[in-house]
Amino acid sequence: MLARSTLHATRAIGAAKTGATRTAQRNASTTSSSGSSATWKDNALLGSSTALAVGSVAWYYYQFGRPAHAMTPSEEGLHAPAYPWEHEKLHKTFDHNSLRRGFQVYREVCSSCHSLARIPYRTLVGNIMTNDEAKGLAEENEYDTEPNDEGETEKRPGKLSDYIPSPYKNDEAARAANNGALPPDLSLMVKARHGGCNYIFSLLTGYPEEPPAGAVVQAGLNFNPYFPGTGIAMARVLYDGLVEYDDGTSATTSQMAKDVVEFLNWSAEPEMDQRKRMGWKVMAVGGVLFALSVWVKRYKWSTVKTRRMLYDPPAMKAKRPDNVTVGSAFRK
């Protein structure tokens, strides 16, 4: 059955090619009569409606389409350079060794000021550490139990289902401890800032030894060219050798920044590895189905495309002039 239909299809496709050119010729010869009927009114109508359409698109863009900047680009801070992040490539996953190191940097450095409130311990299992390691880590912290009959809560050690604890009780306490500035939650930080990974990496590694001459830095703030306004309440936190990595990677400032940024990208997009794998599957299956559908379409249409219409005029009495041969175009 398949063999027969394939045979038909190849024949039909061959015929369709020659058929298509003839159809074009036929159609071309029949349009000549209607061409002269367009008056200047038609043209004017067409022209003005086109102008109206283009004009309304332009007006709409002028009103709503342009980006609105609260600040000028120079006030936004220095634009972060684009680094060649391996995990951002379409066919790459997170480097899970890097995630493990990045989580260590978060825990040992950032977690004293920044919360990571959307990440429960259970998500670390299999991504960053083993089940036992994550359980051990959770048990280091205490959480409230469910209220008992008198409404009293007690303390219990953490479980895998608990969320990573925040360093401060509430935002007010966080501000009070940081000179009035709130250290934002880092769970979704990579998605929350323009420039994502590039921006956070540049921010962490971009503190100069001294602010450049002429720069005004308010008391309590630190100069960082990548931060909008250049005065940031967070001081430089990463210095060479600040943490000691389990796997022996040397903990330079940029290595730690890279690891913690990749970890923060994971915390903002934990589904990334799976999303990419699913994407490739969809492309593979979708590609095959698309090719099949093209083939089936050509197969089904081949009879229509190769159809030939014949006009057999009745014999005429009067002799035709020699230079006109009726139906010659169709009888090749």
Q: What is the distance between the alpha carbons of residues 155 and 146, in angstroms, rounded to a whole number?
A: 9
**Burial environment of residue 291 by CB neighbours within 10 A (0 to 12, 13 to 18, 19 or more):** exposed
Answer for which of 80, 116, 189, 251 binds ligand HEC (CB under 6 A) is 189
Q: Which is nearer to ligand HEC, 121 or 223 (CB)?
A: 223
Q: Is the dihedral of CA 68, 72, 77, 78 positive or negative?
A: positive
State the nearest-atom distance from the C-beta of 177 to ligand HEC, in Å: 8
Longest Cα pair distance anywhere in the chain, in angstroms? 116
Distance CA 284, CA 179 (A): 54
- 112 binds ligand HEC per the rule CB under 6 A: yes
SS3 231: strand
Shortest distance, position 233 Cβ to ligand HEC, whole Å: 3
Per CB under 6 A, the list member of 87, 100, 101, 114 interacting with ligand HEC is: 114
Quick check: 164 binds ligand HEC (CB under 6 A)? Answer: no
Strand-strand pairing, 222-223 and 231-232: antiparallel
Contact 164, 120 (CB under 8 A): yes
Q: Is 238 in the site for ligand HEC (CB under 6 A)?
A: yes
Q: Is 197 annotated as a binding residue?
A: no
Which one of residues 12, 80, 105, 138 is an interface residue with ligand HEC (CB under 6 A)? 105
* Choice between 15 and 233, CB closer to ligand HEC: 233
Distance in angstroms (rounded) separating the CA atoms of residues 62 and 264: 38
- Please report how close the Cβ of residue 240 comes to ligand HEC at its closest, in angstroms: 13
- Tell me whether residue 129 or residue 204 sits nearer to ligand HEC (CB atom): 204
Under rule CB under 6 A, residue 232 binds ligand HEC:
yes
- Mark residues 192-211: x for contact with ligand HEC by CB under 6 A, - for none: -x------x--xx-------
Closer CB to ligand HEC, residue 76 or residue 95?
Answer: 76
Rounded to 10 degrees, the C-alpha dihedral 103/107/111/116 comes to 40
